[in-house]
């Protein structure tokens, strides 16, 4: 089952306590595609400028991604500059340059218009809506966003949220969106906007899935070395959605397994800068770490006493 994604394809300049990189490949759609393409065919919608490295395009194509929806236009690629301090859960945005995204409007190839799964990765909510308006019959639509858009385009964002099944955001953003300190209350309010499922990402503390009837917690994998948390959220989405694309959306248990796949893939993504670790990642690596997740979360039922 193929997956349609729209999101940023970027060059990032990032500083963490463990190193600094300038204008490396990033972007929500890039991380997502690098991860999800290990499970399913990904059709990518986005835009890059002339400065985007050709070898990264070649890598995504080798992974089987369809890039007919990725426009290449004169100008500079979207650029994000961020810094993390020792609290790696909080990204400090130093600069956002939309560049070629400022005038971009998605024009979906005919073959992209009836996807089973759509992922609206973090990008201008007006662009997310333009993509949603061009597709029909999707079984699952998932939206991710960030504080930048909650602050600058909240009305547009609320409109797209009301049209998707699943919303994913980090903890601070969920609270910010509805102005509630209690995460449970924030989750209830976000679900009342329309989606059936809310996934709250808690960085090194894992991720939580909220539905009308329940709550499921996936831990994060305990890592000794984290180099760069950028892209963890999009890689999580790649594992989560990739697994559902492969196994089917309908099964309740698949959603839980998908949460673990998301956590597993995100745990690899942060081990190196940019998409480097995802480039080398294999399904065998994922399988092995999935089993370790089972071990660290297993506990027995109460005895009869």
By CB under 6 A, name the binding residues for ligand AMP. 8, 10, 12, 26-28, 31, 80, 96, 122-123, 146, 148, 230-234
Nearest approach in angstroms of CB 304 to ligand AMP is: 46
Nearest approach in angstroms of CB 183 to ligand AMP is: 18
State both tokens at 220: 């994060």
Angle between helices 252-269 and 283-297 (to 10 degrees): 110
Give the residue with the Cβ less far from ligand AMP, 67 or 237: 237
Cα gap 183→121, rounded to integer Å: 22
Backbone phi and psi for residue 239, each to the nearest 5 degrees, phi listed first: -70, -45
How many Cα atoms are found within 13 Å in the side-chain-facing hemisphere of 55?
Answer: 5
Nearest approach in angstroms of CB 88 to ligand AMP is: 11
Nearest approach in angstroms of CB 124 to ligand AMP is: 7
Residue position matching structure tokens 């602050």: 151
Give the residue with the Cβ less far from ligand AMP, 2 or 122: 122
Give the residue with the Cβ less far from ligand AMP, 66 or 234: 234
CA 113, chain centre distance (Å): 21
Cα gap 266→12, rounded to integer Å: 18
Give the residue with the Cβ less far from ligand AMP, 31 or 221: 31
How many Cα atoms are found within 13 Å in the side-chain-facing hemisphere of 270?
Answer: 24
- Closest CB to ligand AMP belongs to which residue? 26
Quick one: how many helices (H) and strands (E) in the chain?
Answer: 11, 13
Give the residue with the Cβ less far from ligand AMP, 97 or 139: 97
Please tell me whether residue 94 adopts helix, strand or coil conformation. strand
Nearest approach in angstroms of CB 270 to ligand AMP is: 9
Nearest approach in angstroms of CB 232 to ligand AMP is: 5
- Evaluated on CA atoms 140, 145, 150, 153, the torsion sign reads negative
Cα gap 21→13, rounded to integer Å: 6
E strands present in 212-271? 215-218
Nearest approach in angstroms of CB 136 to ligand AMP is: 25
Give the residue with the Cβ less far from ligand AMP, 1 or 57: 57
Nearest approach in angstroms of CB 151 to ligand AMP is: 10
Nearest to 25 by CA among 70, 50, 57: 57
Give the residue with the Cβ less far from ligand AMP, 27 or 69: 27
Give the residue with the Cβ less far from ligand AMP, 47 or 197: 47
Cα gap 147→93, rounded to integer Å: 10
């Amino acid at each position: 089952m193929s997956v349609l994604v729209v999101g940023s394809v970027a060059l990032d300049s990032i500083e963490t306590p463990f190193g600094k990189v300038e204008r490396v490949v990033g972007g929500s759609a890039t991380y997502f595609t690098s991860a999800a393409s290990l499970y399913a065919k990904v059709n990518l919608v986005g835009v890059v400028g002339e400065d985007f490295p050709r070898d990264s395009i070649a890598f995504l194509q080798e992974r089987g991604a369809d890039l007919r929806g990725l426009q290449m236009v004169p100008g500079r690629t979207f650029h994000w500059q961020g810094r993390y301090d020792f609290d790696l859960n909080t990204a400090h945005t130093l600069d956002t340059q939309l560049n070629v995204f400022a005038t971009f409007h998605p024009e979906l190839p005919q073959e992209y218009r009836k996807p089973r799964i759509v992922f609206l990765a973090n990008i201008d909510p007006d662009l997310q809506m333009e993509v949603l308006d061009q597709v029909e019959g999707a079984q699952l639509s998932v939206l991710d966003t960030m504080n930048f858009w909650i602050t600058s385009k909240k009305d547009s964002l609320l409109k797209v949220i009301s049209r998707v099944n699943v919303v994913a955001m980090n903890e601070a953003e969920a609270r910010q969106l509805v102005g509630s300190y209690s995460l449970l209350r924030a989750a209830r309010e976000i679900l009342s906007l329309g989606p059936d499922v809310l996934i709250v990402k808690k960085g090194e503390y894992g991720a939580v899935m909220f539905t009308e009837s329940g709550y499921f917690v996936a831990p994060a994998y305990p890592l000794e070395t984290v180099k760069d948390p950028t892209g963890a959220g999009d890689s999580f989405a790649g594992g989560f959605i990739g697994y559902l694309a492969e196994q089917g959306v309908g099964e309740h248990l698949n959603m839980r397994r998908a949460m673990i796949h998301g956590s597993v893939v995100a745990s690899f993504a942060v081990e190196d800068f940019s998409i480097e670790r995802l480039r080398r990642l294999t399904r065998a690596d994922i399988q092995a770490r999935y089993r370790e997740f089972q071990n660290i979360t297993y506990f027995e039922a109460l005895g009869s006493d």
